[in-house]
Structure 1
Amino acid sequence: MYKAVRARLRALVCRARAARRDAGMVTSEYAMGIVAAVAFAVVLYKVVTSGEVGAELQGIVKRALDAQM
């Protein structure tokens, strides 16, 4: 019984160590993630600040403020 428990525990420890080695991103993956996030933010900013979208957002806010309960 003791040997079986010890073997099972050893297998779990080895599996945890293997998972820890591959956990997280490396520096190049962080850099690519940041570049993608910044690109998405720029596109979103351009869309929100465009004339049509800005006018529509102002209309939505105006209708919400003018709404009567």
Structure 2
Amino acid sequence: MRKLIARLSDDAGMNTAEYAVGTLAAVAFAGILLKVVTSGPVTAALSAVIDRALG
């Protein structure tokens, strides 16, 4: 009986709802990061850094 209670009360991993929320947060962060990196000023700054490094 003790093993059953220990197994039912163990919170070692994430359940399905937590995986869904974590995945949604990761996708939202990736979308925001993509928007920032592809914006005009960031693209120009990255291009300038690459030009300086290669030239």
Query: Is the shorter-chain TM-score for this pair beyond 0.5, marking a shared fold?
Result: yes
Matches within 5 A, 1:8-47: 21-47=10-36
In structure 2, what is the Cα distance between the partners aligned to 1:33 and 1:22?
A: 17
Amino acid at match of 1:26: N
In structure 1, what is the Cα distance between the partners aligned to 2:26 and 2:40?
A: 24
Identity across aligned pairs (percent)?
Answer: 56
TM-score for the superposition, normalised by structure 1? 0.66
Largest Rg, 1 or 2: 1
Gaps in structure 1 of 5+ consecutive residues = 1-13
In structure 2, what is the Cα distance between the partners aligned to 1:28 and 1:21?
A: 17
Aligned-residue CA RMSD (Å): 1.7
Gaps in structure 2 of 5+ consecutive residues = none
| Structure with the larger RCO, 1 or 2 (CA within 8 Å, 6+ apart) | 2
Deviation at 1:39, TM superposition (A): 0.3
In structure 2, what is the Cα distance between the partners aligned to 1:29 and 1:38?
A: 14
Question: Does 1:61 pair with 2:14?
Answer: no
